[in-house]
Every structure is written in structure tokens, then in C-alpha cells.
Amino acid sequence: MKNGSAVFVTGFFILMSTLFITCNQPDEKGEEWEAPRDADDFKSPIRNNLLAEEKGKEIYNLYCLSCHGTYGFGDGAAGASFDRKPANFHQRKVKAQSDGALFWKITAGRTNMPAFKESLSEEQRWQVVSYLRKISEMEQPLKLPVALRPDIKVEHMMKVDSLSVRILQNQVTGNLWYTTFNGNVFEIKNPDSTQPQSQKIFSASDHGITSLQGAVFLKNTLYLCGNIVSNDRKTTKGRLVCYNLDSVNKQPAVVFNTVEYAANKTVFDH
């Protein structure tokens, strides 16, 4: 048994040193950073995850926070001027990596990311990996904007759907509505209560506008405009639709479509 683990440990070190010699060269700027495949085989020896997360947090705050930010969004002050920004641990491409791959990167470093091979023990590096997993699920605490006029009070009202872009008021009912860039339209219920809620009323599958830019009410009629994609995203068209909310049938009427034109595949394509 003893011999077995000695062979394993030596093997591990030979493997690690080969990986560092072959892979620790700073890559070209702009190139994705990939850990060698074998790194996925490094398994975290951690058994007590809660304790590891706690230790990992101490290490993180001391060695990583300055670049990666308190909540791991890659927004630490020290990284602001780098060409290659510190990683945002909330991104899917980081979350999708194995513990071993993250451990390898923390060990090896690249560009402005220091190698922690010497300054952190192996156990500490695994502890910080545990904390990275935790931090990637944390939400940034809400920071309200500060009003410049003393007579304006900013309060948090409710959480809205992602990609929300417009807020508008129905002139007849007085209710607030909001829209998202990807075509969802919500009505806000009970805005004055302590727990306002929103209800999805329309979506891109109803009106076809997959990049929704503008929304306005004229009396009880809702107008939406934006872009529809066609021809396998190679071309696009502008579209204006309206919903008369007085009518029982809540089908959109297309006011007009523009001619088709080449899409440039950016969000500014409208």
C-alpha cells in the first residue's frame, strides 16, 4: 500500500512537471486558456467542503480578490488596466471546467495571472477551488444608484427578467409594463405593494420580434418595434406590431415590415 502511494506521488510530480514545462508558456493575447486534458484527472482530495470553502475564502480574499473582485466577477481594481482581464468565475466557460483544470491554472498562471505553485500549498489551491465554486453561485449585493437631487429617493422595487430594456405605462390602466431585448413583454402587478410581481404577457413567439427595441402605449394599444431574423440570420427586417388590449382577441397586427437587409450580427443591428 505504502509503495503504491509512493509510486502515485512520484508519478503525479513527473506528470505535473511535464505539464508545466510544456504548457506554461504565455499564450498569444486573445487565445483561450485551456488546461491540458490530463488536468481533468486531478481530483480534489477535499472531504470537508464547508471547511475548505471557509479556508478558501481567506486565501481568496488575500491573494485573488484584488484582481478577480469580491464576488468573482473579474472586476477587481488591480486587473482594470490589463489587456487580458481577470477571469469572471460566473461565466459558463469557467464553471464548465473541472476542478482539476482550475487547480492546474491556479498552479501554472499565465499572462498577468500569477502562478501559485510556490506561494500556496497544494491543499490551499484545492481549498481556493472549492471557494471558486461557491463564489460563482453568489449574487452581487444590490448597489442602488445614488440620486444627485435630495428630493429623489431611489428604492429597490423588484427584480426584473434578464435583458430588460424598456419601461412604459399603459395610459388607460396606469399600469407599468416592461420589455426585454429578446422580445418578452411583462405587466407589473401591484406596483405599490411591498411585493410587486410581473406577469409575462407576450413573447417573441407571438409577435416575431426577436430583437425588441421600442415599446410605447397609445391609449390601450401597445406598439412594439424591433427586428426579426430571416434567411438563417443572414438577413433581417424591421417590424412594427400593435396589440389592441381592448379587443378580446389579443393577436398582434403587423403595422409594417421593412425591406429585408443584410444582418451584421451585432446587437446594434436595427
Please state the closest distance from residue 96 (CB atom) to ligand HEC, in A.
9
Q: Which of 16, 69, 99, 105 touches ligand HEC by CB under 6 A?
A: 105
Closer by beta carbon to ligand HEC, 69 or else 226:
69
Q: How many residues bind ligand HEC (CB under 6 A)?
A: 25
Identify the bridge partners of residue 178 per DSSP, sorted by sequence position: 167, 186
Asked if residue 106 binds ligand HEC (CB under 6 A), the reply is: yes
Tell me whether residue 14 or residue 78 sits nearer to ligand HEC (CB atom): 78
Is 113 a binding residue for ligand HEC by CB under 6 A? The answer is yes
At residue 13, φ and ψ (nearest 5 deg) are -70, -40
Q: Which three cell numbers stand for residue 174?
A: 396606469
By beta-carbon proximity to ligand HEC, the closer residue of 39 and 113 is: 113
Neighbours of 6 (CB within 10 A): 10
* Residues in CB range of 170: below 8 A, 6 or more apart: 176, 177, 187, 217, 220, 222, 245
Q: What's the closest the beta carbon of residue 42 comes to ligand HEC, in angstroms?
A: 13
Which residues 122-181 are close enough to bind ligand HEC by CB under 6 A?
128, 132
Cα gap 223→252, rounded to integer Å: 9
Q: Which is nearer to ligand HEC, 8 or 82 (CB)?
A: 82
Distance CA 59, CA 128 (A): 7
CB closer to ligand HEC out of 115 and 165: 115
Residue (66 or 251) nearer to ligand HEC, CB: 66
| 27-32-33-36 Cα dihedral, nearest 10 degrees | -100
Q: Give yes or no for residue 39 binding ligand HEC (CB under 6 A).
A: no
**How many C-beta atoms surround the C-beta of residue 262 within 10 A?**
10
Query: Integer distance in angstroms from the first to the last C-alpha of the chain?
Result: 68
Q: Which of residues 43-102 bind ligand HEC (CB under 6 A)?
A: 63-64, 66-68, 78-79, 82, 84, 86-87, 94, 97, 102
Supply the minimum distance, in Å, between the C-beta of residue 143 and ligand HEC: 23
Distance CA 71, CA 136 (A): 8
Taking the complex as a whole, how short is the minimal distance between the CB of residue 60 and ligand HEC, in angstroms?
Answer: 6
Contact 185, 200 (CB under 8 A): yes
Give residues in contact with ligand HEC (CB under 6 A).
33, 63-64, 66-68, 78-79, 82, 84, 86-87, 94, 97, 102, 105-106, 110-114, 116, 128, 132
